[in-house]
Amino acid sequence: MQVAPNRIRIPDLVVLRPGTQRSILTEPPLLTIEILSPDDTYTDLEERCQDYLAMGVKTMWIVDPKSRTGRSCVGNAWTSSNRLEVPGTPIFVDLPTLFSQIDTQAQNG
């Protein structure tokens, strides 16, 4: 995603609005999702999210697989939640269900 004239960011996941997409996104996606890795720092994460907000992204999710928690940012308001949602859409993720399904697949896999 081109978040500024001289800056490109690559989120872990994006949810796009319907329509033709360019190879480098210049319009804000419906949702960006960052999945924390062990080497992520709070400062790096904050900088990425500020870039997404400046680009016009309205909803961001941060998922921490280690603690199995999530945070959602809608506008400038961050909230912790087990259910991450995109306001005005049917899009959501229930984190306990998601992690339970991952555990089941790992046990059966």
Going from N- to C-terminal start, the domains of the chain cover 2-108
Binned at pLDDT 50, 70 and 90, residue 33 comes out as very high
Strands across the sheet containing 69-74: 13-15, 31-35, 59-64, 69-74, 77-80
Mean pLDDT rounded to a whole number for the chain: 91
Q: Which residues, in sequence order, are bridge partners of residue 33? A: 13, 61
Nearest to 61 by CA among 20, 89, 101, 103: 89
The whole-number pLDDT of residue 74 equals 87
Q: Which CATH class is domain 2-108?
A: alpha beta
Give pTM, 2 decimals: 0.88
Per-residue pLDDT reduced to its tens digit, 34-77: 999 989 887 888 889 899 999 999 999 999 999 999 999 988 78
Amino acid type, 33: I
